[in-house]
Every structure is written in structure tokens, then in C-alpha cells.
Chains A and B, each alone.
Chain A
Amino acid sequence: MNGGEPEDLLSKEITESISKAMGEWDWDVDILELGEMEIAGCMGCFGCWMKTPGICVIDDISRELARKMISSDLLVYLTPIIFGGYSYHLKKAVDRMISVVLPFFEKVDGEIHHAKRYDRYPSFMAIGIADSENESEERTFRELIARNAINMHAPRFSSAVILRTDSLGSRQENLVKTLRDMGAVK
């Protein structure tokens, strides 16, 4: 899921690099360009839990995103880092996918979270693009990925931060290392 602006060439380049690296290891990669999709914002109505369980009440492409997410083995978010969080495009999609968990509360390591709706969930990897080094935003981003991983029941997770000023070689190295950490490529 690419949450970059449609005109952001670096996010396109990274998307292609990931797709190519994974393709070499026989992954079937689906690329979703969120910035080019019409995705409505979540209304906070809980309809996906209480009215049409498991399906958002707004009929747009986000239903398909949730289906693809739950049918995949690895979910990859790519986003410019905005104040340590996701871009508007990505966050719209993320907010609309809470239908994949149940409303019910349960304890996970002493903390309360929403229970699983499905038996299995994808592993989760996020790549943040930063304009320049910003320690605080990078820390927030990595925390966010770790927290999201718990809430989406991801069996494994990993995050990487790529600077726009990084060389092509260093960008590729970072990506392959993160994919290796996830066991996605060897």
C-alpha cells in the first residue's frame, strides 16, 4: 500500500524495488496506489462491527483493501513520515480497515486490545520516507508500527526509514535488509 503522493517518484521507485525483490522470490505482489484511489474517511460509526459485521458500511474501494489485506501473507505500508505518523492517503485506508478485527475486548500481554475476527493475519512491514533526519519523528514512526502490529495481530513486523537524501545503493540495501528480516527474501 503506497501512501505517497501520486507525483512522488521516490515512493514509486521504492514500490517497484520491493515488488522486483519479492518477485524474484516468487511472491505474487499486489501494488495499491492509495493516492490515486477515492477513499472516504472513516465516520466512526462502528457499522463495520455493529451493522454489517466485517464490512464497512461505506461502499468504496476500501472494502477491497480489507479483503486483500486479510488474504495476504505480508502487508507492506509505504508512506512519507508525517510528524512521525502515516500520510493522509495511507491513514484513510488504515482507518477503514478496522472491520478485520472484532469489537470484543481481550487482554494481550496485560493490555486490552480487540480480538481477532480471522484466524490468520499478515505479517507487517512499514517503510517510512523522511525528508531529513529527525530522531523524534523516526522514534514515533517505529513505535507506531510496533503498536499497529499488536492491534492487527501481525505475527511478525518490521520497520525501515529511508531518507530522501540516501543514495540509491543505500536505499536498496535498506529495503533488502528489511525484507530479509521479515523472511520475505533470502
Chain B
Amino acid sequence: MTIRKALLLVGSPRGNKSNSFSLGSFLMKKLNENGVETTTMMVKDALKSKERIEDMLKEIDKTDLIVLAFPLYVDSLPAMDIKLLQIISEHRSGSTDKIGFVPMVNCGFPEAIHNKTAISICRNFASRANLEWRGGLSLGGGMAVASRPLEEVGGVARNMINSLEMAARSLAEGEPIPKESEERMALLIAPKWLFIRLGNKMWKKQAKENGVENELNARPYIDD
């Protein structure tokens, strides 16, 4: 059965200047093209006050699908998203309204497998919050997106775009994300050796811009 409304929760502390926002808003755009009305909220803002939490919970009550887009923080969700999940789970306690749930996680490592524990946490949450699991999207090498709209990222985003277009079609029908969409999102964006080389070069360049290239390996917490 087709769905009417979808809610994107952007779970990055960087809000709309994040890869989570780039990925999530692209999915919302595609859902929109498939006839779904979408709303986007930043978790960092939604948790700022009781009133804002209430507003978010009202949106949740009205929606047919929740998408939580977040960056991987130490094998899990950023702390504020743990709080978010607890609030939603408590709110949904005993509720039987049919709402679907999709987490979408991106990490800085090239392998999407790093996201596995975060996806498992989300799945356990869905079960506790009486939300229907509609699959999880997991991306490695998220920094390639550089918080840009996916359409502007170029060839490296091809699989991400294909995956999200596929996901949107199924989700709009109230169906889970196809396996192929999950697999496509999880493909390596570059060979690992190249990723290490380019990644490390990028860190050095950034440090140089900040004038700390000679301090990158600092050990402030021990007496060398």
C-alpha cells in the first residue's frame, strides 16, 4: 500500500551541513517524486526544548515512514541520537499505528561493514518502538559526499544515487528497501589502498591549512 507521508530526521550534530543531510534529503526528494509528502527535521534542534520534542513527536504521529540519517560515531550513533531513540521508543510504547523505519548511516571508513553495529542498534530500537523495519542503508567513505547535494558529487555518488532511487520506489509503496539497494549503497567507493592514500593526504592538507601539520601526531596526555 502506498504511503502518504515521510519524516527525515537528520541525526548529525552538523545538521544541514552534513553528509547525512545530503543523503537523507536526496531520498526525500525521490520519495517526493514518487508522490510522498516529506518533512525534514534536524535532531540537534528537535531536542533543544520540551516544546520542540513535542512538535517532533506530533510529526512522528502523523507520518507513515521515519528515516533517520546519521554519521557513525565510534561504531554507533552519535550520543544525541541515542537520546532521540529513547524518546521515540517511550512515546511509541504500546502504540499500534503502522509506521515504517529506515536508518541510513554513513561512516568515514571505506567499508560499510563498520556500520553494522549501529544498524543492529537501530533494529533493536525499531522492535522496542513498535516500528516496522523497512531495511537499513549503510555507506562507507561518506566524506566523498563532502556535504554537497548528491547530484553535485559526480561519479563517486553514482551507486548512492541508484541505491536511493531504488529505495524510494519501494518505500513509497510501503515496501522494504530491496536487497540490491542496500548492497549498492554498501559498495566500496574506491580501492582500499587508494582510499588510505587519498584520505591521509586530505588530513595533511587540512592540517596544513590550519597551520598544525607538524603537530598532527601530538601526544598531549603523556609525558614523552
Selected interface stretch from A15-23, A106-114, A154-162: A106-114
Which residues does A use to contact B, with CB under 8 Å? 41-46, 49-55, 66-67, 70-71, 82-88, 91-92, 94-95, 98, 100, 102-107, 111-113, 117-118, 134, 136-137, 139-140, 143-144, 147-148, 151
Contact residue among B75, B111, B199 (Cβ-Cβ distance under 8 Å from A151): B75
The docked-state distance in angstroms from the alpha carbon of A81 to that of B219 is 33
Selected interface stretch from B154-162, B170-178, B209-217: B209-217
A136 & B123 in contact (Cβ 8 Å cutoff): yes
How many chain B residues touch A (CB < 8 A): the figure is 51
A44 & B196 in contact (Cβ 8 Å cutoff): no
The docked-state distance in angstroms from the alpha carbon of A57 to that of B19 is 22
A136 & B127 in contact (Cβ 8 Å cutoff): yes
A112 & B195 in contact (Cβ 8 Å cutoff): yes
Chain B residues closer than 8 Å to A139, beta-carbon distance: 120
Given A84-B121, A112-B195, verify A50-B82 contact (CB < 8 Å). no
Is B62 interfacial (CB-CB < 8 Å)? no
Residue of B nearest to A152 (CB): B74
B210 & A107 in contact (Cβ 8 Å cutoff): no
Is B22 interfacial (CB-CB < 8 Å)? no
User: Top 7 nearest A-B pairs by Cβ distance?
Assistant: A91-B79, A140-B120, A83-B124, A92-B79, A147-B75, A54-B220, A83-B125
Chain B residues closer than 8 Å to A84, beta-carbon distance: 117, 120-121, 124
In the complex, how many angstroms separate the beta carbon of B120 from the nearest chain A beta carbon? 4
